[in-house]
Structure 1
């Protein structure tokens, strides 16, 4: 069996058995490398070289966690929670609670969508916005799997469809790599080609909201020392808003989450909102809150490095090509499944595009797929797995916010729900796009 397939299946199987994701990635990388014919030294060397590339990401998340804890101390999240609580008509009023739930879900959806396009901060808003909302979510007995599904939709659908923010980066990478592989496409064609696959994500979101997670689910409201605030003033709230704006501007200006979070914390320190003597405590609390996502991302970089070094991705695609036999319907389905396997392992649709286009595009040309159909195939194949992958920041981000009190499992409460609600319809609608376009 192909080494990439074995590595991904091993990693997913261990994760589903509730083995720690970091350990699952380590074992998956080792098994994948050895079954691909690499020696244990070559496997470890490839893994180690990849791990180094994840250091910046880990530090970014650590400082982001510290900034989130600092913001929580200013009282801004408490103000937000109190505002949302006022929306509830009366205690026990089902209409008021239903309205509150709808407002929260809509607010979270809008924020997650904006984080990709209008205000491209990606998952940076989650540890600031979500933990303070857990109290009201618990009171309304909202299933956190629903919030995870809403967040993941907002983190993936916008960049697939809209050519702004992270969407512009995704579309440019897609067009550039397709051109280098032998098919020139106009970047303005991509939104139209990806419209049907994105519709699949919308269907999944609607199903999650109105069918899968519409029922109540009870959670215990647990006091969190890191996210508690005894008292606050209007001035502290104002400076927290200024700090968020400064952090956003610095991040966008210098393309650095590290210095964005650092600049935001400097504003809080300089204004006296947070005392310098609390710096060590805040950093420690923030690192604790974001340590899981940081270590998973570091390990995922090593896992991806082993997959690339093995050369088994090309072998996987070539093996799928041998099964096609000139049939476009089978070809489209197999190409999408290959994309799913690669992205589930790597955890990034952006990194998957350069890997699959070099083989997918020539294969699509040979089989007679139109440029629009090829865009839909490659774009969907790359996006598959971003939702549902244990190593994707589109799932790690939601978990980091929803599991602050230890009541939200990364695999069973984020990865499995988002995989079922988004990857399944994405395969169906991506396949239809490839056949119809």
Structure 2
């Protein structure tokens, strides 16, 4: 009989790739997984409904950030950024165009990496920073798939390699803690060394995306972005100053209170109080912003329900046990199968942070039995957890980039974010993770 995890994730991915909306794909996949896992329709729906609340906070955060992003667009910041960048392009002709392109790519990469540690705001920067830059990206004909790959790299690699910020949570509080809880002595393990080779796999994928896959120019309809981003809005130094103050306040308050919702609300209120957003317009702007982020919010809510059904079936453990039968005491086959199981589970659950505790309890005894060193065990469990964060339709590492790049409807979540990030990060991570497991 087919494993429930394989059935659920397989159905979800096939439907998503067939351009069925991700929310529908997640619901159908959850129902199929629950039924295959023997839960029955009532228990499946109860598990799904019970998990929905897990995504509600992030969904509301994104609705607030959407409203804030619309207010930023109204301030004329998009127009100001576009004017400045295009002035540089016109002044330096083709050379300037290239220099601006690399400046923008470098900026987004640095901000994405910083969002995991220096300023730990995770995906909250995307709805605020990317839409104002989209007009310039469109004028320069930069492939948005490249930008999606750049941001996804910045959202994942720091937490799986650097033990600060979100990396401290993932590497120390989740990965090392769960491996230790499963009975392995990790006192001599340097977690950065353990994850260095898999992180190089991520870097390899980024370089392929930047210099090979998406180096050519790609045409987008400028009229659509002009309509959405209101680049023709007049601006003056005061409005730009207020916009800068609102963005800074949103970031500071989010870091202080740990709440994206309150941070975005504070930024929106600054726009309202300054008069840039007129009080009678706030209702319409708020609704417009929420509509812009509605898809991301509903996917995150549905993904939480989907993950809860997978956990309720208990089939992750039986998937590993079935894989153990194929291993036949081969470390090479064992490492590969464990990484593939991790890929499958994380693509379904959509979160490395939630996957590692599930995998560690099952993988660690198997690794000990096969004779892997503590360093290799940490690497296998960590890489298996990180695998699938890129390339999952339900992961915030793919939903975040889509939320910023698709505000004008010209960037498809599955084909322009999920598939590119899957190919450029999961495949190298699988290869480099396997090599690391064999040499550590």
What is the TM-score normalised by the length of structure 1? Answer: 0.97
The aligned counterpart of 1:220 is 221
Aligned equivalents of 1:358, 1:330: Cα separation in 2: 20
Correspondence 1:289 to 2:289: no
The aligned counterpart of 1:164 is 164
Aligned equivalents of 1:190, 1:25: Cα separation in 2: 34
The offset of 1:413, in angstroms, is 0.6
Please give the root-mean-square deviation of Cα atoms over the aligned residues, in Å.
1.5
The aligned counterpart of 2:429 is 426
Contact 2:126–2:404 (Cα < 8 Å) also in 1: yes
Query: Residue 135 and residue 360 in structure 1: after superposition, are their counterparts in 2 closer, same or farther (change >3 A)?
Result: same
The aligned counterpart of 1:346 is 349
Contact 2:405–2:411 (Cα < 8 Å) also in 1: yes
* Deviation string, structure 1 residues 112-153 (Cα, Å, up to 9, x no partner): 111111111111111122122222222221111111111111
Query: Residue 98 and residue 225 in structure 1: after superposition, are their counterparts in 2 closer, same or farther (change >3 A)?
Result: closer
Name segments (4+ residues, structure 1) moved above 6 Å: none
- 1:392-407, aligned counterparts within 5 Å? 392-407=395-410
* Contiguous gaps of at least 5 residues in structure 1: none
Among candidates 361, 377, 381, match of residue 384 of structure 2: 381
Aligned equivalents of 1:187, 1:85: Cα separation in 2: 53
Correspondence 1:3 to 2:1: no
The aligned counterpart of 2:120 is 120
Aligned equivalents of 2:66, 2:54: Cα separation in 1: 20
* Secondary structure of the corresponding residue to residue 145 of structure 1: helix
* Contiguous gaps of at least 5 residues in structure 2: none
- 1:190-339, aligned counterparts within 5 Å? 190-221=191-222, 222-228=224-230, 230-339=233-342
The offset of 1:59, in angstroms, is 0.7
* Deviation string, structure 1 residues 271-305 (Cα, Å, up to 9, x no partner): 33322222211211111110010000000000000
The aligned counterpart of 2:99 is 99
What is the TM-score normalised by the length of structure 2? Answer: 0.96
The aligned counterpart of 1:364 is 367
The aligned counterpart of 1:141 is 141
Contact 1:239–1:268 (Cα < 8 Å) also in 2: yes
Contact 2:189–2:375 (Cα < 8 Å) also in 1: no
The offset of 1:249, in angstroms, is 1.7
* Secondary structure of the corresponding residue to residue 141 of structure 1: coil
Aligned length: 436
Aligned equivalents of 1:188, 1:330: Cα separation in 2: 24
